[in-house]
Amino acid sequence: MSISIAHLGPPGTYTEAAALAYAHTLASETVSPPLLCPCPSIAQTIRSVAQGEAHLAVIPVENSIEGSVAVTLDSLWQLETLQIQQALVLPIRHALLSRGSSLEAIKTVYSHPQALAQCQKWLETSLPSAQLVPTNSTTEALQNLDEDYTAGVITSQRAAELYNLPILASTINDYPDNCTRFWVLGKQPSLGGTHTSLAFSLPANRPGALVESIQVLATRGINMSRIESRPTKRSLGEYLFFIDIEADASQSAVQLALAELATHTEILKIFGSYRVLVIEPTDRCQD
Amino acid sequence: MSISIAHLGPPGTYTEAAALAYAHTLASETVSPPLLCPCPSIAQTIRSVAQGEAHLAVIPVENSIEGSVAVTLDSLWQLETLQIQQALVLPIRHALLSRGSSLEAIKTVYSHPQALAQCQKWLETSLPSAQLVPTNSTTEALQNLDEDYTAGVITSQRAAELYNLPILASTINDYPDNCTRFWVLGKQPSLGGTHTSLAFSLPANRPGALVESIQVLATRGINMSRIESRPTKRSLGEYLFFIDIEADASQSAVQLALAELATHTEILKIFGSYRVLVIEPTDRCQD
Among A residues 5-44, those touching chain B with beta carbons less than 8 Å apart: 43
Average pLDDT over all residues of chain A: 91
* pLDDT of residue B287 exceeding 50: no
Span A138-161, pLDDT tens digits: 998 999 998 899 999 999 988 999
Using an 8 Å CB-CB cutoff, list chain A residues near B228. 228-229
Contact: B215, A217; criterion CB under 8 Å: no
* pLDDT of residue B28 exceeding 80: no
* pLDDT of residue B205 exceeding 80: no
pLDDT at A243: 96
Task: Tell me which of A222 and A29 has the higher pLDDT.
Answer: A222
Long-range contacts of A245-249 (CB under 8 A, 24+ apart): A245/A195, A245/A196, A245/A197, A245/A198, A245/A217, A246/A194, A246/A195, A246/A222, A247/A194, A247/A195, A247/A196, A247/A222, A247/A223, A247/A273, A248/A192, A248/A193, A248/A194, A248/A196, A248/A273, A249/A192, A249/A196, A249/A273
| Residue A50 and residue A82 in contact, taking contact as beta carbons nearer than 8 Å | yes
pLDDT at A283: 43
How many residues appear in chain B?
287
Residue of A64, A71, A208 lying closest to B233 (CB–CB): A64
- A30/chain B closest Cα distance in angstroms: 32
CA distances from A111 to A18, A184, A203, B80 (A): 19, 24, 41, 30
Is A78 touching B (CB cutoff 8 A)? no
- Whole-angstrom distance, CA of residue B180 vs CA of residue B282: 16
* pLDDT of residue A270 exceeding 90: yes
- Judging by DSSP bridges, how do beta strands A276-278 and A83-91 pair with one another? parallel
Using an 8 Å CB-CB cutoff, list chain B residues near A117. 70-71
Contact: B231, A64; criterion CB under 8 Å: yes
* pLDDT of residue B282 exceeding 70: no
Span B97-131, pLDDT tens digits: 999 989 999 999 999 988 998 999 999 999 999 99
Task: Give the 3-state secondary structure percentages of chain B, helix then strand then coil, rounded to 5.
Answer: 30, 30, 40
pLDDT at A1: 75
- Taking one residue from A and the other from B, the number of pairs with CB-CB distance under 8 angstroms is 124
Residues B161-183 have a mean pLDDT of 94
Is A221 touching B (CB cutoff 8 A)? yes
Average pLDDT over all residues of chain B: 91
Is B188 touching A (CB cutoff 8 A)? no
* pLDDT of residue A3 exceeding 60: yes
* pLDDT of residue B152 exceeding 70: yes
Is A215 touching B (CB cutoff 8 A)? yes
pLDDT at A267: 95
* pLDDT of residue A281 exceeding 70: no
| Residue A2 and residue A35 in contact, taking contact as beta carbons nearer than 8 Å | yes
- B1/chain A closest Cα distance in angstroms: 31
Contact: A218, B233; criterion CB under 8 Å: no
Using an 8 Å CB-CB cutoff, list chain B residues near A195. none
Of the residues A66, A140, A236, A240, the best mutation for testing chain B's interface (the one with the most B CB atoms within 10 Å of its CB) is: A236
Which of A184, A199, A214 shows the shortest CA–CA distance to A274?
A184
Q: Which fold has domain B49-90+180-287?
A: Alpha-Beta Plaits (3.30.70)
Residue of B136, B208, B224 lying closest to A218 (CB–CB): B208
CATH of span A94-170: 3.40.190.10
Is B211 touching A (CB cutoff 8 A)? yes
Residue of A177, A221, A236 lying closest to B207 (CB–CB): A221
Span B34-84, pLDDT tens digits: 999 999 889 899 999 999 999 999 999 999 988 999 989 999 999 878 999
Residue in B closest to A177 by C-alpha: B235
Residue in B closest to A90 by C-alpha: B236
Residues B2-29 have a mean pLDDT of 91
* Mean pLDDT lowest among A9-18, A182-191, A244-253: A9-18
Task: Tell me which of B140 and A185 has the higher pLDDT.
Answer: A185
Is B129 touching A (CB cutoff 8 A)? no
Residue in A closest to B223 by C-alpha: A207
How many residues appear in chain A?
287
Report CA B109 to chain centroid distance, whole Å.
Answer: 23
Span B221-254, pLDDT tens digits: 999 989 999 999 888 888 999 999 999 999 999 9
Percent of chain B with pLDDT over 70: 97
* pLDDT of residue B283 exceeding 60: no
Residues A90-113 have a mean pLDDT of 94
Is B78 touching A (CB cutoff 8 A)? no
Locate the domains of chain B by residue range: 49-90+180-287, 94-170
Angle A100-A104-A108 from CA coordinates, rounded to 5°: 70
Residue in A closest to B209 by C-alpha: A218
ipTM: 0.86
Residues A180-207 have a mean pLDDT of 93
Contact: A67, B70; criterion CB under 8 Å: yes
Using an 8 Å CB-CB cutoff, list chain A residues near B237. 64, 225-226
Residue in A closest to B221 by C-alpha: A207
Is B218 touching A (CB cutoff 8 A)? yes
Span B79-98, pLDDT tens digits: 878 999 999 999 999 999 99
Contact: B132, A136; criterion CB under 8 Å: yes
pLDDT at B1: 75
Contact: B120, A43; criterion CB under 8 Å: yes
- A31/chain B closest Cα distance in angstroms: 35
Give the pLDDT band of residue B285 (cuts 50, 70, 90).
very low
Using the 8-state DSSP alphabet, how is residue B59 labeled?
Answer: E
Using an 8 Å CB-CB cutoff, list chain B residues near A225. 205, 237
Using an 8 Å CB-CB cutoff, list chain B residues near A222. 207
| Residue B116 and residue B140 in contact, taking contact as beta carbons nearer than 8 Å | no
Contact: B65, A120; criterion CB under 8 Å: no
pLDDT at A235: 82
* pLDDT of residue A285 exceeding 60: no
Give the pLDDT band of residue B281 (cuts 50, 70, 90).
low
pLDDT at A237: 86
Contact: B211, A234; criterion CB under 8 Å: no
